[in-house]
Amino acid sequence: MKFFSFITERVRQFFSSSEPAKAEEPDDSAFIGREKVIVFGVAFFFSLCLWFIVNLSRDFNVTIDVPIQLVNLPDDVSLSSDIPDYASVNVTGEGWKLIPLYSNPPRISLSADARQINLFEQMRSQVGAFSDLNVLQVNPIVLNIETEEKASKKVPVIPKIDLTLQNRYGTVQDPTVEPDSVTITGGQTRVANIDSWETVELELTGVNRSMERRIELERPGSGLSIEPTHVTVRIDVAEFTESEVRIPVRTRNLPSGKAVTYNPSSITVRFDVPIDKFSEVQRMRPFTAFVDYADIEGDTTGFVTPQIEKLVDDINLRLRNYQPSRVSYFNILHD
C-alpha cells in the first residue's frame, strides 16, 4: 500500500497548482522532473490500456481478403475459366475476436472435382471456429470451376517500351528480345486464342547509349503458366547526323510508247544517318524518287508529288524531308 500511496502523492503534486513552487536545490529539481515524466508515462500507459479494453469490447465490422487455393487438379487438366486469388469476406464481432482473424485469415481450399462451390457457406463453417463472429457477406458468393485438357503453345514476345532519347540520338533498329518467344501452358481453348505475350512496361528517358534490360513478362491469369517469366531486351542506340543526297525522279508503271519528263528532273533528299555510317552512305544512293504513272493520269493540276523509297535495309536512315515536294511534268508525244 505504501507504493500506491507514494504514487498517489506524486500524481497529486504533479497536477497541483494551488501552491507556488518552492525553491529547491538543482539536484532535487532534476530528480522531481524525472519523477514527473515517469508518473506521466505510467498514467498514459494505463490510460491507453483502458482505452483499448473498453473499445475492443465493442462490435466491429471488417472486410478481409481470404486466399483461395485450388487442390486436387490433375496434371493433364487446366482451368478454362479464371479463379480469383482472394475472396472478400465481411465479418462482424468483438474487436478482440477479430484481431486474430484479421492478422491471420484462413485459407479457402477448393477441390477441382467440384463444379460449383458456395464460398459463403464454406466461410461460415471456417469462421465458426472463432466464437461470436458472424459472416455477413462474401464476394464472390459462388464459384464455378470449369476445366479442360491442358495444352502448350509457343508465341512471340512483344516488348512494351516507352523510350525517350536525347537530342540527336536514335535507335539503330527495333528493340530485340532474348528469348523472342514464350511457351504458354493452360486450357486448350484459352491457349488457342493467344497469339503473343507482352512484357511489363519499361520506361526509359534521356537515353544516349545502347543498353540491355532484364524485364518481367505480364503475369498470366489463373489456369495459365508461362516459361520463361523474364526476357532480356536490347536497345541499340547511336548518335545521328544530317546528310543529303540529290536523286533523279523516275516514272513507274510507264506504258509502252510513253515518255515523261519532270521539272526539276531531280530532288534533294535530307535524312539522318548514324555517325559511324556517314562515310559509307556518302558512297551510295540510299534513296530513290518515283512517280506512278497512274498519278499522272489522274492529275489535273500539272504537278505531282514524288514518292521516296529507301534502298538500304541494313542501315537505319531516317527521312527528314525533300525539296521540292512537288514537281511539274510533261508527257512526250512521239510522232
Domain locations in the chain?
Answer: 2-55, 59-145, 149-235, 242-332
For residues 168 and 272, the answer to whether their CB atoms sit within 8 Å is no
178 or 50, which is more confident: 178
Give residue 52's pLDDT. 58
The grid coordinates of residue 278 equal 556517314
* Mean pLDDT for the stretch of residues 182-209: 90
Q: Which CATH class is domain 149-235?
A: mainly beta
Give residue 9's pLDDT. 61
Give residue 49's pLDDT. 60
Q: How many CB atoms lie within 10 A of CB 128?
A: 11
The secondary structure element, H or E, covering residue 162 is: strand 161-165
Question: What's the pTM?
Answer: 0.58
For residues 301 and 328, the answer to whether their CB atoms sit within 8 Å is no
Pairwise CA distance, residues 333 & 335, whole Å = 7
* Mean pLDDT for the stretch of residues 171-181: 90
Which residue in the block uniquely carries the three cell numbers 465481411?
A: 90
Q: Across 100-109, 214-223, 288-297, which has the greatest mean pLDDT?
A: 288-297
Sheet containing 59-71: give its strands across: 108-111, 59-71, 86-94, 133-139
41 or 142, which is more confident: 142
Tell me the backbone φ, ψ of residue 9, rounded to 5 degrees: -65, -40
Confidence tier at 333 by pLDDT (50, 70, 90): low
Q: What is the DSSP letter of 157?
A: E
191 or 1, which is more confident: 191
Which residue in the block uniquely carries the three cell numbers 532474348?
A: 178
Per-residue pLDDT of 123-140, as tens digits, reads: 877 766 666 777 888 888
Look at residue 291 and tell me whether its pLDDT is greater than 50: yes
* Mean pLDDT for the stretch of residues 235-264: 92
For residues 146 and 190, the answer to whether their CB atoms sit within 8 Å is no
Pairwise CA distance, residues 113 & 147, whole Å = 9
The reply to whether 149-235 and 242-332 are identical in fold is yes
Quick one: CA torsion of 120, 126, 131, 134, rounded to 10 degrees? -10
Pairwise CA distance, residues 156 & 172, whole Å = 21
Contacts of 19 (CB under 8 A, 6+ apart): none
The CATH architecture to which 59-145 belongs is: Beta Complex (2.170)
Give residue 1's pLDDT. 43
The grid coordinates of residue 203 equal 520506361
CATH number of 242-332: 2.170.120.30
Question: Whose CA is closest to 61, among 21, 100, 91, 97?
Answer: 91
Question: Whose CA is closest to 159, among 173, 142, 138?
Answer: 173
| Residue 59 bridge partners (DSSP) | 94
Give residue 56's pLDDT. 54
Give residue 187's pLDDT. 84
